[in-house]
């Protein structure tokens, strides 16, 4: 079921939109009522909104101007990322960004915090936002903002993950919060963002590199041809001998992202139902290894 869902573009788009809604809901229900800042591009927009309200005494009625600013600032970012990420991902990102901005604007903010304890609100909001962002990225989309910049770095072969890039940007943002507001706001906002980024990196499966070893009696050329043509991955194979049976076998080795492993597993067992597949997660790969974005 998961395999079919992740490889159906319409279902992926629907799930990505749901992830955008979930992220906006988590922010409005658990973070904003505590007067905290989410971090990232939206966090920057929230800080700008607060400064406009505090120092220029501007009133935006019942609407949160941060959502509108977030949508506007994403336009130049998407134009910058067009060549790197391609037309498809940019369009999907635009859809998710609009969905997030609209959800952020229409989901009501509780007059009183749902959870009185600030630390609990930070943890719950951070986990939900990390899961939401991870869902969007795993579906081959993006919620815009720093995710897009992080994806560009990942595409260009940088070792900086989306979550780590967000943490670096937010270090400067929360330093500004510390200077402009107070230590409590900055500290609890950092706690929220830390958990959000950690969950995001675990959910964002394209960041997790795996090594797959396939031991098969089948046609290694057909199997390696599928891996190269359909998955776009290089593969090395050699001949081996089963120690117990003494029979000749073929051994194939390929490195790919965790996002692609289910498709590989499905293909291997279609070629050879009795194939032996060993998968090791979290391996480090140097050299000409293409980081895909879904």
Mapping DSSP to helix (H, G, I), strand (E, B) and coil, where does residue 254 land? strand
Residues 187 and 213 in one domain: no
The span from the CA of 7 to the CA of 151, in Å, is 20
Q: Which of 150, 178, 206 is the last residue of a domain?
A: 206
User: Does residue 289 belong to any structural domain of this protein?
Assistant: no
Would you state the pLDDT for residue 251? 92
Q: Could you say which residues of the chain have pLDDT below 50?
A: 1-3, 294
Label the pairing between strands 236-241 and 248-257: antiparallel
Residues 130 and 91 in one domain: yes
Q: Which two tokens stand for residue 154?
A: 């990942």
Please give the model's pTM, rounded to 2 decimal places.
0.70
Instruction: Count CB-CB contacts under 10 A for residue 15.
Output: 18
Residues 111 and 245 in one domain: no
Model confidence pLDDT, tens digit, residues 115-138: 888 889 999 999 999 889 888 877
Please check whether residue 280 is in contact with residue 211, taking contact to mean a CB–CB distance below 8 angstroms. Answer: yes
Mapping DSSP to helix (H, G, I), strand (E, B) and coil, where does residue 231 land? coil
**Domain count for the chain:** 2
Model confidence pLDDT, tens digit, residues 203-246: 665 556 788 899 998 888 888 888 888 777 888 888 988 888 88
Would you state the pLDDT for residue 2? 47
User: Does residue 101 belong to any structural domain of this protein?
Assistant: yes
Residues 49 and 188 in one domain: yes
The span from the CA of 163 to the CA of 30, in Å, is 21
Task: Please give the residue range of the domain that contains residue 273.
Answer: 208-281
What per-residue string of b and e applies to 56-87 under the rule 16 or more CB within 10 Å gives b? eeeeeeeebbbbbbbbebbeebbeebeebbee
Would you state the pLDDT for residue 58? 72
Distances (CA, A) of 107 to 24, 86, 104, 171: 8, 31, 6, 28
Which are the contacts of 108, defined by CB distance < 8 A and separation ≥ 6?
A: 28
β-sheet with 209-216: strand ranges across:
236-241, 248-257, 209-216, 276-281
Residues 193 and 221 in one domain: no
Would you state the pLDDT for residue 8? 67
Q: Which of 206, 222, 253 is the last residue of a domain?
A: 206
CATH number (domain holding residue 245): 3.30.70.120
Residues 142 and 250 in one domain: no
Would you state the pLDDT for residue 6? 55
Q: Which of 206, 225, 256 is the last residue of a domain?
A: 206
Residues 195 and 262 in one domain: no
Residues 199 and 214 in one domain: no
Q: What angle do CA 200, 123, 118 make, to 5 degrees?
A: 145
Q: Which two tokens stand for residue 122?
A: 């930070």
């Amino acid at each position: 079921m998961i395999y079919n869902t992740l490889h159906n573009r319409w279902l992926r788009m629907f799930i990505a939109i749901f992830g955008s809604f979930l992220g906006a809901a988590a922010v409005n229900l658990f973070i904003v009522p505590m007067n905290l800042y989410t971090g990232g591009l939206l966090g920057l927009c929230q800080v700008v909104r607060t400064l406009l309200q505090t120092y220029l005494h501007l009133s935006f009625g019942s609407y949160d101007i941060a959502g509108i600013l977030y949508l506007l600032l994403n336009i130049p970012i998407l134009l910058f990322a067009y060549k790197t990420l391609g037309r498809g991902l940019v369009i999907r990102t635009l859809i998710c960004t609009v969905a997030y901005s609209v959800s952020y604007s229409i989901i009501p903010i509780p007059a009183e915090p749902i959870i009185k304890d600030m630390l609990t609100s930070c943890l719950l909001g951070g986990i939900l936002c990390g899961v939401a962002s991870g869902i969007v990225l795993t579906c081959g989309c993006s919620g815009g903002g720093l995710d897009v910049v992080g994806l560009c770095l990942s595409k260009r072969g940088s070792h900086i993950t989306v979550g780590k890039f967000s943490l670096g940007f937010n270090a400067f943002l929360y330093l500004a919060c510390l200077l402009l507001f107070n230590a409590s706001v900055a500290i609890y906002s950092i706690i929220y963002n830390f958990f959000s980024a950690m969950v995001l990196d675990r959910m964002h499966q394209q960041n997790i590199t795996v090594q797959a070893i396939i031991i098969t009696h089948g046609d290694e050329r057909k199997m390696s041809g599928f891996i190269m043509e359909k998955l776009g991955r290089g593969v090395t194979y050699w001949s081996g001998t089963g120690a117990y049976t003494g029979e000749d076998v073929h051994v194939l080795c390929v490195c790919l992202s965790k996002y692609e492993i289910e498709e590989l597993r499905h293909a291997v067992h279609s070629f050879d139902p009795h194939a032996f597949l060993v998968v090791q997660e979290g391996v480090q790969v140097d050299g000409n290894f293409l980081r895909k974005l879904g």
